Each structure stands twice: as structure tokens, then as C-alpha cells.
């Protein structure tokens, strides 16, 4: 496996790389979910293609300085994981090599990013779109792999590719979960034992409430189940259209029940997809 720590080095390595080039953009601190993305990339690339994994904690997508400062960065073990997963090239740039100090161009999506995480994390998705487009350009990838846990991020990246005619195929992979249902996340490692034991309630609350009849019942039940714990603080809890990510008033189209929950300063996200007609739809 080759390692590049600048865009110039990455382009040099990939200049004559066998196609397809399949990119897995990450911020490192790998768990089984990340590894599943790398394995999927290897499947798509085949034995002759090239798998690239980027490991970059992107500073411009963090809205809270403490979250950036505390984000785990175990680069040595991450590189070992990449090699074991069949990655051909690891891209490990620094912030100074990715961004000019007087940078003045940012990629902004203005519709799908208006709610959910975008409503409470100012500038977050501008940072995501900007770094992802840079990674597409630096790697010249044919395909990029993203996890479905960050459902809003996935939808926004698909929209960016569509609207900007980026010649990249976006492939999604299902959320990987712990045995108790908690969505795997690098942030899980920062939970205290009590918080970690409590956190599966997020998934349970979404699943159980999603079986109820009306929008109002679904949202009320999910909120009550999450807030039943003194350890939690809800950042948002929303029902949105699965395609537009705008608030929905019925479930005759696929919808997303999504939440972000704080345990102290650790923010966890999850969602479920709901698709069924309601007998008595109500305005939530």
C-alpha cells in the first residue's frame, strides 16, 4: 500500500493507476463500518482496479471547536486497517496542504442542507461538499463509497454530483451496527460506560415509534423514549421526505425519521426509513 500526504503526491501515484479508481472518503478512527466501505470498494475495483482511502479530519466541517479537538486520530492503526482491507493508496493530507490560508471558494448546497443536521450545524455541509469535491478532483476517482448512516450527507453529495456534473458514481452502503443496535461511529469511543449502555435507546425509539399511525404520534413517542433518559439531550428529531429532506405532512411517500442526540458533548445521529400510507395523517 502506498501513502500520499499531499495532493501532488496523490496525483503522482494515481497518474497511471489501473481503472477504476474507487474512493472511500473518511476521517479515520476506523471501525467495522469503515472497513465494510473499503471491502465494497475492493469489490467494485476488482483485482485490477485501484482503491483509495482518504484519512482527513476536515476542519471546515466542524461547527464546534471542542468536537474537532477531541476527534480521534489514530493514524498508525488506521493505516494498518487500510492495508488489511485491501486498500491500494491511503491519502493522509494535513489541513495546510488541503487549504490555502486565504482560500475564498466554498461549495454550498442550499436545499437539502437546510434542515436536520444543517439546521443546527452552521457551515457543516459547506465544509463537507467542499472537501468531497476536492477529493474527487485530486483522486480522479470513478466511484466513491459512502455509508448510509449519514443519510443527509449522502443525499447532499448525490445532489452535488448531479448539479455539478461530477463524473463520479456514488455508491452507498448500509449502516453497520453494534450487536445492541447502536450505529457504529468513531464518536462512540468517547461515551462513558453509562452513556454507552444507554445509547441503544436511540435506535429503539426510532424503530418503535415508526410503527405508530400518525406523524404526531410518531414524533411524540420517539421524543418521549429518547428523553426518558436523564443522559440525553435531543439536538433535533424530524420527519422529512426521503428525497427532498423537507418536512413531510403524510407518509404516502418514503420518509425519514431522523435524530441527533447529545450525550454531554458527544453527538450521535441515526434514522429509520418509513414508507406506508397513514389512515389518518396529521400535520406534525
* Chain mean pLDDT for the chain: 95
39 among known catalytic residues: no
Contact 107, 126 (CB under 8 A): yes
180-226 residue pLDDT tens: 999 999 999 999 999 999 999 999 999 999 999 899 999 999 999 99
Q: What is the DSSP letter of 241?
A: E
- Catalytic residue, candidates 31, 34, 271, 275: 34
15-43 residue pLDDT tens: 999 999 999 999 999 999 999 999 999 99
pLDDT band of residue 252 (cuts 50, 70, 90) is confident
- Sign of the CA dihedral 229, 250, 175, 152? negative
> Crossing angle of helices 7-14/124-139, nearest 10°?
40
pLDDT of residue 277: 59
Share of the chain above pLDDT 70, in %: 97
Rounded CA-CA distance 233/231 in Å is 7
Q: Where are the domains positioned within the chain? A: 2-173, 186-273
pLDDT of residue 133: 98
64-109 residue pLDDT tens: 999 999 999 999 999 999 999 999 999 999 999 999 999 999 999 9
By C-alpha distance, which of 237, 272, 271, 277 is closest to 253?
277
The torsion angles phi and psi of 37, rounded to 5 degrees, stand at: -65, -40
CATH H-level, domain 2-173: superfamily: HUPs (3.40.50.620)
Count how many Cα atoms sit within 13 Å of the Cα of residue 112 in the half-sphere of its side chain. Answer: 22
Order of strands, edge to edge, in the sheet holding 143-147?
2-4, 89-91, 50-55, 21-26, 143-147, 169-173
What would the CATH number be for the domain defined by 186-273?
3.30.1300.10
Amino acid at each position: 500500500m502506498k501513502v500520499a500526504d499531499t495532493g501532488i503526491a496523490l496525483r503522482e501515484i494515481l497518474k497511471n493507476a489501473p481503472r477504476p479508481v474507487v474512493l472511500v472518503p473518511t476521517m479515520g478512527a476506523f471501525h467495522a463500518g469503515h472497513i465494510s466501505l473499503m471491502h465494497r470498494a475492493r469489490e467494485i475495483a476488482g483485482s485490477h482496479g485501484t482503491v483509495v482511502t482518504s484519512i482527513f479530519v476536515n476542519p471546515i466541517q466542524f461547527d464546534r471547536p471542542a468536537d474537532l479537538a477531541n476527534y480521534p486520530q489514530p493514524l498508525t492503526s488506521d493505516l494498518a486497517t487500510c492495508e488489511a482491507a485491501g486498500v491500494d493508496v491511503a491519502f493522509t493530507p494535513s489541513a495546510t496542504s488541503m487549504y490555502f490560508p486565504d482560500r475564498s471558494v466554498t461549495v454550498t448546497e442550499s436545499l437539502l442542507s437546510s434542515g436536520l443536521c444543517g439546521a443546527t450545524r452552521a457551515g457543516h455541509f459547506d465544509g463537507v461538499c467542499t472537501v468531497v469535491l476536492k477529493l474527487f478532483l485530486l483522486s480522479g476517482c470513478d466511484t466513491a463509497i459512502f455509508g448510509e448512516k449519514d443519510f443527509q450527507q449522502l443525499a447532499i453529495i448525490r445532489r452535488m454530483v448531479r448539479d455539478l456534473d461530477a463524473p463520479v458514481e456514488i455508491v452507498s452502503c448500509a449502516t453497520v451496527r453494534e450487536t445492541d443496535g447502536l450505529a457504529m461511529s468513531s464518536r462512540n469511543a468517547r461515551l462513558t460506560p453509562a452513556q454507552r449502555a444507554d445509547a441503544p435507546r436511540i435506535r429503539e425509539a426510532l424503530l418503535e415509534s415508526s410503527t405508530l399511525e400518525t406523524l404526531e404520534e410518531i414524533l411524540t413517542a420517539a421524543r418521549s423514549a429518547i428523553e426518558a433518559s436523564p443522559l440525553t439531550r435531543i439536538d433535533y428529531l424530524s420527519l422529512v421526505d426521503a428525497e427532498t429532506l423537507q418536512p413531510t405532512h403524510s407518509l404516502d411517500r418514503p420518509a425519514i425519521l431522523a435524530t441527533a442526540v447529545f450525550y454531554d458533548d458527544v453527538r450521535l445521529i441515526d434514522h429509520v426509513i418509513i414508507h406506508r400510507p397513514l389512515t389518518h395523517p396529521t400535520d406534525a
